[in-house]
């Protein structure tokens, strides 16, 4: 009787969850194009619908992008914005090509606040996410207790309760062994 064998695992790590760089481009471009089309067909050129959809798509992409592709969440919104504004002006402005290009450049300046808000929020979100991932994990959820004062006139020092795993035994790995005890502070010789 043969024993079942496990399928061989690939040496390649599993992809992390989230949007890829191409996914960021597709989300921001498709949503912004949708907002642009609504604005063009319901009003007079670019308006608040395009701005709101562009800002929302930029923020969504910044929240959902995977760690390896965070640069795409910062680079994509300004490029998509410039492309869509230029395309809008080239297709809707009357006159020769030079007039359309100048109108497109003016459109980039006139609609700049939408770009600044969308790209700025994307940068803030990405920087916050990277900061959160690099920040050392603390035991913020540990209950607090008051340590006994060493002298009568001292205020109690607040300390976190030890984690439940520390009570069970020594830590595994490079931190193996008992936890060190705090060193008592010598009393002030001047008093």
For residue 133, the model assigns a pLDDT of 83
Q: How many CA atoms lie within 13 A of 154 on its CB side?
A: 12
The 10s digit of each residue's pLDDT in 116-154 is 999 999 999 999 998 888 877 665 555 555 555 555 555
Find the mean pLDDT for residues 51-66. 94
Mean pLDDT of 43-66: 90
Q: What CA–CA distance (Å, rounded) separates 13 from 68? A: 13
Rounded-to-integer distance, Cα 107 and Cα 110, Å? 5
Closest CA to 146 of 130, 159, 134: 159
DSSP secondary structure of 158-175: EEEPPPHHHHHSPPSGGG
Residue 45 has pLDDT above 80, yes or no: no
- Asked whether residue 90 carries a pLDDT value surpassing 80, the answer given is yes
State residue 16's pLDDT score. 67
The residues, ordered by sequence, that sit 6+ positions from 66 with a Cβ below 8 Å of its Cβ are 15, 16, 17, 18, 19, 20
pLDDT-based confidence at 19, cuts 50/70/90?
Answer: confident
């Amino acid at each position: 009787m043969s024993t079942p064998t496990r399928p061989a695992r690939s040496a390649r790590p599993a992809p992390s969850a989230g949007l890829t760089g191409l996914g960021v481009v597709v989300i921001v471009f498709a949503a912004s194009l949708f907002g642009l089309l609504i604005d063009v067909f319901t009003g007079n050129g670019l308006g608040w619908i395009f701005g709101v959809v562009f800002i929302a798509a930029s923020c969504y992409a910044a929240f959902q992008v995977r760690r390896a592709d965070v640069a795409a969440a910062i680079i994509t919104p300004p490029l998509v914005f410039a492309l869509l504004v230029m395309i809008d002006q080239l297709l809707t402005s009357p006159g020769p090509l030079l007039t359309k290009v100048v109108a497109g450049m003016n459109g980039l300046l006139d609609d700049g606040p939408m770009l600044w808000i969308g790209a700025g929020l994307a940068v803030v979100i990405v920087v916050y996410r990277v900061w959160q991932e690099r920040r050392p994990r603390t035991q913020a959820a540990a209950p607090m207790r008051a340590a006994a004062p060493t002298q009568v006139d001292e205020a109690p020092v607040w300390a976190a309760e030890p984690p439940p795993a520390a009570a069970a035994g020594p830590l595994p790995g490079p931190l193996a062994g008992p936890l060190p005890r705090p060193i008592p502070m010598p009393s002030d010789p001047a008093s």
